[in-house]
A and B are shown apart, each in its own frame.
Chain A
Amino acid sequence: MKRNEKIFVLTCMAAGLLGVHASAMHIMEGYLPKGWAAFWIVVCLPFVAIGFRRISKYVQQNPKNLTLLALCGAFAFVLSALKIPSVTGSCSHPTGVGLGAILFGPTTTAVLGLIVLLFQALLLAHGGLTTLGANVFSMAIVGPICSWIVYHGLKKIGCPKAGAVFCAAFAGDLLTYITTSIELGLAYPGASLAGAILKFMGIFAVTQVPLAIAEGLLTVVVFNVLEKYSNRELTQLDVL
C-alpha cells in the first residue's frame, strides 16, 4: 500500500514535469576551466576510495546492509531525476543523498552520488565528465558530510528522529548548491570573488530552498518506514 502510494505520487510528479524544459542543475560539461576540473577530481579521489572500502566493510558486517545501501542509491536516483518547479520560476532537483549520509556516513554516500552523477553525465548530458569532480564534491561529499553532522548532532541533543532527519536532508541539499555556487565563483571570479559567489548563489540557492524542504520531507517518509521495519539494522549502524 505504502509502496503503491509512493510510486503513484512520484509518477504524478514526474508526469507533471514532462513539459518542462530539461537541463542540468549541476555544473555543465566543459564549463569549468581545466585547472579547476582537475583540482576537484583530485579532491574527490580519497573520499571515493575510502567510500568503496567502507561499503565492503558494511556488507561484511551484515549482508542486509547491502539492501539498505541499494535503497539509498535508488532513493538518490529517483530524487535527482525529479525536476521540481520552484518559487523563482525556474526548476531544479533535489539531491537525494541525505538518506545515505544519515545511514552510512559521508564517504559511502560519495560512491552512491558518483554513480548517479555518472549516469546523468553519460546518458543525459546533465552535468559532465570534466565537471564530475566538482559535482561529486558538492553533491556527494559536502552535502552528505553536512547531513551526517546535522543528524548526529541533533540526535545527541535529543531532537526527535524525524526532525533530525528532516534538518539533515534539508541542510545537506542546500549546502550542495551553495558549494556549487562557490565552485563556480572560484572559477569565474570576475571583478570580485565574493560578488561572483553571491551571484551564482542567487540563482541556485534561492531556487533550492523549497526543494530542500521537499527533500527533507521525502527523506523523513522513507526513514519512518525504515525505523519501523529495519530497526535492528539501523540500531547496528548506530543510526537510532
Chain B
Amino acid sequence: MKKIIWKKNVILLLLVVAIAVIPLIFIPGEYGGSDDQATDVIAEQAPEYEPWFASLYEPPSGEVESLLFCVQTAIGAGIAGFILGRLTAKKQSDTEEPNDK
C-alpha cells in the first residue's frame, strides 16, 4: 500500500513538471506575468486611470524579488516537509512496520 502511494505520487509530480516544461519547449513567448497584460487592458479600458496607491515596499531588483519568492517557498516547503515527515514517521512506529521506502 505504502509503495503504491509513493509510485502514484511520483507519477503525478512528473506530470506537473511536464505541464510546466512543455509550453517552454514548444510555445515561443516572453513568459512575463499575466498581470502585465492585465495592466495593458486596464489602460485600454480606462486610459485616464492613474493608480492611486503604490506598494509600501518594492523589492529593489529582480534578484531581490526572486530571493523573497524563494523565502516564501522555503518557509512553505520547510513547514510542509516537517509536518509530512512527522505524520508519516509516527504512523510507521505505531504500526511497527519495517521501513520499506
Contact = CB atoms under 8 A, between A and B. Distances in A.
**Interface size class of chain B, counting residues whose CB lies under 8 Å from the partner chain:** 35 or more
Contacts of A27: 35, 38
B79 A74 contact: yes
Interface string B60-99: 0010011011101101111111011111101100000000
Interface in A89-144: 89-92, 119-125, 128-130
B37 A12 contact: no
19 contacts: A6-B81, A7-B77, A11-B77, A14-B69, A21-B33, A31-B39, A71-B79, A75-B80, A78-B73, A90-B29, A90-B33, A92-B34, A124-B68, A124-B69, A189-B45, A190-B44, A217-B15, A224-B9, A229-B88
Interface of A: 1-3, 5-7, 9-14, 16, 18, 20-31, 33-34, 67-68, 70-71, 73-92, 119-125, 128-130, 184, 188-190, 196, 199-200, 203-204, 207, 210-211, 213-214, 217-218, 220-222, 224-226, 228-230
Interface of B: 1-2, 5-6, 8-10, 12-13, 15-17, 19-21, 23-24, 27-39, 41-42, 44-46, 49, 51-59, 62, 65-66, 68-70, 72-73, 75-81, 83-88, 90-91, 101
